[in-house]
């Protein structure tokens, strides 16, 4: 203090706090923590390689946990992969019944205070401060054609449609989701917005524009083709006959399976699943499978596909 010496009134002790451990201490430390990854740093390369090999030998037969040991060079990056598991609690209506093994739980995933919950949209107001809302879209387009022509085209698109009157207006319900109101020289589409309904609405709008461009008079509107299982089978027989010849097809269908013999190779077509089986020729199987599926997509309405 200011160049003066003061008498020492405390004891001075020297204690070694070495940061270096031997192999036994390192191994015990790892066994207690059970880390999935161990990175060796701050050491001579050969010695770290020996330590890595020793650790791998010691824990290679351990069934409690799996360990990966790394000894990277300076500035070498090490990528560690961890499996993140999150647990979500099912609440509300979804939790009213105990799910069975294999059941799928579908709902809205909500994260709140680092906790996850799955619930139905109707339960949002009960368990969160959020609300569920719907957006109704409406689109009008000019249409001067007849109602029967419009019905004809929409039936080709979706199969069955509902036709009724609402407030004195002729209405059509397509895909059970798109309401089509027909007024003089105008057609109005109305639907609840959503990914699927929006695509349905685009398809219906395309059909309306197609009907508007069709000059067919009302008396000449054809009867809608009823696309059912028997109609598809007839079209399939005709297509396969054109492709391979009628002599290759066995027209007797057993258990919903159509049989063909092409170049002495038996082929089976499952009419319910559209699966094609030809054990002797994978390329022929692929050709027939593509043709069958494209035919089904071409003639079958969307609701029946």
Q: What is the pLDDT of residues 41-58, one digit of tens each?
A: 888 888 888 989 998 888
Between 248 and 154, residue with greater pLDDT: 154
User: Which of 20, 42, 231, 289 is labelled catalytic?
Assistant: 20
Q: Which range has the worst mean pLDDT, 18-27, 126-135, 282-291?
A: 18-27
List, for residues 121-170, the tens digit of each pLDDT value. Answer: 888 888 888 877 889 999 999 998 888 888 888 888 887 788 999 888 89
Burial of 173 from C-beta contacts in 10 A (0-12 / 13-18 / 19+) = middle
Task: Determine the average pLDDT of the residues in 30-47.
Answer: 86
Place of tokens 């013999």: 261
- Evaluate if residue 35 carries a pLDDT over 90: no
Place of tokens 């002797």: 280
Q: What is the CA radius of gyration of the chain?
A: 37
Structure tokens at 163: 């036709």
231 is catalytic: no
List, for residues 57-93, the tens digit of each pLDDT value. Answer: 888 887 777 888 999 988 899 998 877 777 889 999 9
Cα 283 to Cα 125, 257, 266, 287, 290: the distances in Å are 56, 20, 13, 6, 11
Task: Determine the average pLDDT of the residues in 15-33.
Answer: 77
Q: Which helix (H) or strand (E) holds 59?
A: helix 45-59
**pTM, to two decimals:** 0.49
Per-residue pLDDT band at 304 (split at 50, 70, 90): very low
Task: Determine the average pLDDT of the residues in 87-110.
Answer: 88
């Amino acid at each position: 203090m200011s160049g003066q010496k003061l008498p020492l009134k405390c004891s001075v002790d020297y204690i070694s706090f070495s940061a270096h451990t031997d192999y036994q201490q390192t191994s015990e430390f790892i066994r207690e923590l059970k880390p999935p990854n161990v990175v060796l740093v701050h050491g001579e390369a050969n010695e770290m390689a020996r330590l890595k090999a020793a650790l791998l030998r010691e824990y290679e037969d351990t069934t409690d946990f799996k360990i990966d040991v790394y000894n990277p060079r300076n500035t070498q990056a090490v990528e560690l992969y961890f499996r993140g598991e999150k647990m979500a609690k099912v609440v509300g209506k979804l939790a009213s019944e105990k799910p069975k093994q294999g059941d799928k739980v579908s709902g809205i995933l909500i994260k709140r205070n680092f906790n996850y919950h799955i619930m139905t949209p109707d339960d949002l107001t009960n368990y969160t401060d959020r609300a569920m809302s719907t957006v109704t879209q409406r689109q009008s387009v000019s249409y001067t054609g007849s109602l029967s022509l419009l019905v004809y085209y929409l039936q080709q698109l979706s199969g069955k449609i509902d036709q009724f009157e609402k407030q004195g207006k002729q209405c059509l319900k397509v895909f059970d989701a798109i309401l089509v109101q027909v007024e003089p020289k105008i057609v109005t589409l109305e639907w609840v917005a959503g990914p699927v309904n929006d695509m349905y609405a685009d398809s219906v709008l395309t059909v309306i524009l197609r009907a508007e461009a069709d000059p067919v008079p009302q008396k000449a509107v054809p009867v809608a083709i009823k696309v059912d299982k028997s109609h598809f089978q007839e079209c399939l027989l005709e297509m396969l006959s054109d492709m391979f010849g009628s002599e290759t097809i066995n027209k007797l269908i057993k258990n919903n399976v159509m049989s063909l013999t092409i170049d002495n190779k038996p082929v089976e077509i499952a009419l319910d699943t559209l699966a094609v089986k030809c054990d002797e020729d994978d390329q022929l199987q692929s050709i027939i499978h593509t043709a069958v599926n494209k035919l089904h997509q071409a003639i079958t309405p969307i609701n029946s596909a």
